[in-house]
Amino acid sequence: MADEKRWFEKRAPEMSKGWWDFYNAVEGETALDKKTKALIAVSVAVHGRCPHCSESRIKKALALGISKEEVAEAVMMTALLSAGTDIFWIRDTYEKYLG
């Protein structure tokens, strides 16, 4: 697929170039190490409920030497924060109508 352009590269070439520049800058050498970035990426992919992203990011994490336990813990942290966000986000509305 390296030679085949993606749909967005065909239809929005200037914007897709900007997106790839951003992608490469974030994925490149930055203040965060590759392991930290990989675990953040797993968490965001899971939170976004994207099967493709979750699979590719978990595979990338494992390829970097991150253990299955570490990936599982990142997923559980995602679940914890997602549930907590729902619980605390609704508080004011709950009190207003069901108090």
pLDDT of amino acid 3: 63
**Does 84 share its domain with 37?**
yes
**Does 82 share its domain with 54?**
yes
CA atoms within 13 A on the CB side of 95: 5
pLDDT of amino acid 12: 96
Structure tokens at 33: 């190490």
Its domain, for residue 25, covers 1-30
**Does 10 share its domain with 53?**
no
* Mean pLDDT, all residues of the chain: 94
Domains in the chain, number: 2
**Does 38 share its domain with 76?**
yes
**Does 93 share its domain with 73?**
yes
CB atoms inside a 10 Å sphere around CB 49: 9
**Does 51 share its domain with 66?**
yes
- pLDDT band at 45, cuts 50/70/90? very high
**Does 19 share its domain with 63?**
no
**Does 53 share its domain with 94?**
yes
pLDDT for 15 beyond 80: yes
Length of the chain, in residues: 99
Residue 52, domain CATH = 1.20.1290.10
**Does 1 share its domain with 25?**
yes
What average pLDDT does range 77-99 have in this prediction?
A: 92
